[in-house]
Structure 1
Amino acid sequence: MAERKESWTSLASSLGILAYCQTLVHVVFPTELRFASLKFLNRALRCCSFYCYFDITEMDGHNTNELYNAVQLYLSSFVSASCRHLSLTRARNSSATTFGLTRDDYINDVFDGVAVQWEHVVTPRQSLALEQSRLDEKRCFTLRIRKRDRHLILESYMDYITDKANDIRHNSQQRLIYTNSMSCYRSSPWESVPFKHPSTFDTLAMDPERKRDIMEDLREFAAGQAFYQRTGRAWKRGYLLYGPPGTGKSSMIAAMANFLRYDIYDLELTGVPSNSELRKLLMKTSSKSIIVIEDIDCSVNLLNRSKEPKATEPQSYYDPGSLDAAIGRKNRNNKITLSGLLNFTDGLWSCCGSERIFVFTTNHIEKLDPALLRSGRMDMHIHMSYCSYPALKILLHNYLGSEGEDLGQAVASELREAVEKAKMTPADISEVLIKNQRNKERAVSELLEVLKARAERDEKYGGLREECGLNGVEKQEEEEEELEKRAVSEPQGSERL
């Protein structure tokens, strides 16, 4: 008992001496000297070590270090499976929870057979600003690699982490749809809202074989960076969707965006006053996006290059007509021309960015200038036609939860024959099905009646419904609708000035 008491007394005396020495060190040696000594000791130990260390700080001067964010995302992809103490974050416009290393925690990784270690180092830092006199935290990731492996994997490992982080960010980030706004009170010419359109290639009413071709083309484009670099082509692709109204052109665009997980830029040409503003809009678009121009045939009156007015001879300053000529030249310069649009899609300015898709839609392909249709601008022409029987089966599955064959062989045969003759759009058929979605028999019966009535009407008028319509009424309504679009979309002369 006496020996144990003496041991405790000796231990207490030692602790007291240690505390006194620590207090003496803090009093005699300033904080800067202590930190410098520890730093020197740490460097000396690292020189004798078999490892080399790389710090990736959160801030690069006054800017955020993108490599730090990439490492954080990369480690979050597998850190949850090997660590017990984690931090949880959720970025803006993201639907996924991100796991992260906490303070002074570490994790091991293997790349190309080389073992490395990541440590998340958090140190206190006193802010120098008087109005922010508080303790901040300095965060960085420290990478430990064996010295002999440093030159083997460092560059390729960083590239791999960056690519992996871009994929994670792309898959977790909420997609947006943008519209152009030329308001002078906004810092950006684009306004955005979350894009939540539910259309997919599974729900799109189109022949399955055509959908597979389009999906395969989109896959090859998204994975074709090496191909486009090797061939010296801009990493972009153009699609032209044409066909009658209601055939699913907008649903096709939404399905493409959901399939590739791209953002959408809905470009309204009537809000763009000139070619220069069009180029500015293009420069503000991001990669991995779909740039859409709907109803290209009637959105604006594009000036054809062969029909643009020729330059007039210079006139005298005192000529009364010179002022009118100058105003005319100014008006022409403030209009979007066909040349400007072609440069937007296929010229030098189209290379301002990568992995972008241009989609034009039109109801009348015959009205488009041939220059817009050539290969390289519109790489793929997709005809959105009337509803066929394979597309009808998709609609029946979407709205009624059944395939055509489930309704009976006789009914399926009647539907197949009627839909091929009726020339109805998927939108027209959807209206019939959605009214009776709770009653499958009534929906199919009413749809069959509508299809037969439309087929008889088309047969009566020689199958020329697009040209003659119903006693000429449909054609007249279509022309009036197009004229109304042109009148509304064409800006007034005072607005262009």
Structure 2
Amino acid sequence: MKEFWGSMASLMGVWAFGQSLLQTVIPPELRFTLSKYINRLFNWCSTYCYYDITEIDGVNTNELYNAAQLYLSTSATANGNSRLSLTRAVNSSSLTFGLSNNDRLIDFFRGVPVQWEHVVIQRQSQTLSWRHVPDEKRGFTLRIRKRDKALILNPYLDHITDKANEIKRKNQDRFLYTNSRGGGGSLDSRGHPWESVPFKHPSTFDTLAMDPKKKEEIMADLKDFAKGQSFYQKTGRAWKRGYLLYGPPGTGKSSMIAAMANYLGYDIYDLELTEVHTNSELRKLLMKTSSKSIIVIEDIDCSIDFTNRKSAKSSGNHSSSSSSGGLPLGGGGGGNDGGGNSITLSGLLNFTDGLWSCCGSERIFVFTTNHIEKLDPALLRSGRMDMHIFMSYCSFSALKILLKNYLGYEDGDLDEDVVKQLEKVIEEAEMTPADVSEVLIKNRRDSERAVAELTESLKGRAERNRAAKGVELEEEEEKRALEKLTDGNEGFDSTADHLPER
């Protein structure tokens, strides 16, 4: 060992002497030229390409660095790295994992391995500077085989950007927007026609009280829409979709909208039509909405007085504007007189299906109503409202979800007799999920009492419904009997003109 370390010391001394001799004999310009050509020789002989992605490009932030950092957060946890950095962004409720300083990671894209290295270099202290310079120079170094460069480089970077945007959308808080008071032309303090608040609604498809098969169908449709950019481009269709939620009050239409937003990670624009005065204001509002959003008009049959085309024709108005859907939807029907509303049916149709509806991409239109029969058929056709979803009264499958949400009951926790009673009366009771939830909330601290009170409420509602239906049947039978009696006496006139003369 002594001889080994002695030899190593001699070699180090020779190396130091040779290096100092070269620096003395060879001028700096020649040394720089030699090192440049040596590096080129090594790069030419190497089988890899190296790409540096710095955090700051000049004075601007490099978006590709942020995208790579978010993308590698998922790969780092999947590869089981023993040392990771842990961060939480502003307006985010989830944690993000990332590579530690000067750590490496192997990723695979289309079966091709690539290597990432997080390079962190300490800067020398700068006492005089006109702008703040970070103490550390951060960046990623991407290593790819030269033979794979043309095959995967551009698709891989596009994949990283798309994946990072998806992660960012899921991690950050969503917002609920509403149009500013005073109409679509009004602007808030920042010059926008929409006012926003963080959207914190906890509703998801797991907690939504609805038939599981129907929920799976809706979720599959939403997933196909979100991943269908190439399909919509290939078929020449605008990347949008319309949903109509209809049914009695309290059946979960608003919760469905919140579940859709949480499932897709979209923002919600709650459009209040009563605050919009003209079609041009409606178009301006639409142009200021962002992609990946849900545009909602709740209770569309109540927000504006729908004097549709059929009612106009029945009142004797056969004008050309009536046949083209140009009737004002406001209650006054006379434009803006007296602060009225002059939005037309054609303007609303163009909002959902016309050229102006294509000024953005990946947007969903949702209309809700309690009375679908009041809506003009032009609003209901495919292309405007592509999927009609009936929000029905609470079924037994929906009841099981509510029992799990509020009382923690799983399948098999309830007695078979109780299950049979609930299954027997739930359909006849015609109680909404909101009514059932209210009963469970009041007694959530006593599960047995909650189930017992719910059973009694369902039985009482079912009996009242049966009695009401019996009265309706009797009235209908009396009406039919009267119609038969009237039909039998048809043509008989009891006036004195038909009596024979004496």
Same fold (TM > 0.5): yes
List runs of 5+ in structure 1 lacking aligned partners: 312-326, 469-497
Amino acid at match of 2:193: P
Secondary structure in 2 matching 1:264: strand
Per the alignment, residue 350 of structure 2 pairs with 343
More displaced 10-residue stretch of structure 1: 238-247 or 276-285: 276-285
Query: How far apart are 1:377 and its partner, in Å?
Result: 0.9
- Per the TM alignment, residue 373 of structure 1 is displaced from its structure 2 partner at its CA by 0.7
Residues 1:361 and 2:349 are matched in the alignment: no
User: How many angstroms apart in 2 are the aligned matches of 1:270 and 1:87?
Assistant: 50
Highest CA radius of gyration, 1 or 2? 2
Say if 1:246 and 1:328 are closer, same or farther in 2 by CA, change over 3 A: closer
Q: What pairs with 1:97-496 in structure 2 (closer than 5 Å)?
A: 97-122=95-120, 124=123, 131-132=130-131, 138-181=137-180, 182-301=186-305, 335-402=342-409, 407-462=414-469
- Structure 2 unaligned blocks of 5 or more: 181-185, 322-333, 476-502
Does the aligned pair in 2 maintain the 1:302–1:336 contact within 8 Å?
no
Please give the alpha-carbon distance, in whole angstroms, between the structure 1 residues aligned to 2:96 and 2:412.
Answer: 46
Deviations 1:63-116 (A, max 9, x none): 543332222222222235465665433322333333334555443334334333
Query: 2: CA distance between counterparts of 1:107 and 1:60?
Result: 23
CA contact (8 A) 2:188 2:194 kept: no
- Distance in 2 between the 1:362 and 1:347 partners? 22
Please tell me whether the aligned partners of residues 126 and 133 of structure 1 are also in contact (alpha carbons under 8 angstroms).
Answer: no
Question: Are 1:199 and 1:251, in contact at CA under 8 Å, matched by a contact in 2?
Answer: yes
Aligned residue for 2:218, secondary structure, equals: helix
Q: Secondary structure at the match of 1:145?
A: strand
Please give the secondary structure, in 2, of the residue aligned with 1:78: helix
Matches within 5 A, 1:47-86: 47-59=44-56, 63-79=60-76, 81=79, 86=84
Q: Which residue of 1 aligns with 2:486?
A: none
Tell me the secondary structure at the aligned position of residue 461 of structure 1: helix
Measure, in 2, the Cα distance between the counterparts of 1:156 and 1:198: 36
Matched to 2:162, the amino acid is D
The residue type paired with residue 337 of structure 1 is T
Distance, in Å, in 2 between the alignment partners of 1:43 and 1:305 is 77
Q: Secondary structure at the match of 1:462?
A: helix
Number of corresponding residues:
444
1:90 and 2:94 are equivalent in the alignment: no
**How far 1:386 sits from its partner (Å)?**
1.9
Provide the rounded CA distance (Å) in 1 between the counterparts of 2:393 and 2:444. 22
Structure 1 residues 128 and 353, CA, compared in 2 at 3 Å: closer, same or farther?
farther
Letter in 1 for 2:372: I
Question: Superposition RMSD on alpha carbons, in Å?
Answer: 4.3
User: Structure 1 residue 180: deviation in Å?
Assistant: 3.1
* TM-score, structure 2 as length reference: 0.73
Instruction: State the distance in 2 between where 1:303 and 1:125 align.
Output: 74
- Cα distance, 1:121 vs structure 2: 4.2
Change in 2 beyond 3 A, CA 1:233/1:407: same
Q: CA deviation at 1:361?
A: 0.7
Deviations 1:243-263 (A, max 9, x none): 111111112222222333333
Distance 2:369 2:146 in 1: 61
Closer, same or farther: CA 139–439 of 1 in aligned 2, 3 Å? closer
Report Cα offsets for 1:329-385 as digits up to 9, x if no partner.
Answer: 899998433223222222223223333222111111122122111111111111112
State the shift of 1:310 in Å: 7.4
Percent of aligned pairs with the same amino acid: 64
**Contact kept in structure 2, 1:303 and 1:337, CA below 8 Å:** no
Distance 1:54 1:62 in 2: 20
- Structure 2 CA distance for partners of 1:86 and 1:187, relative to 1, 3 Å: farther
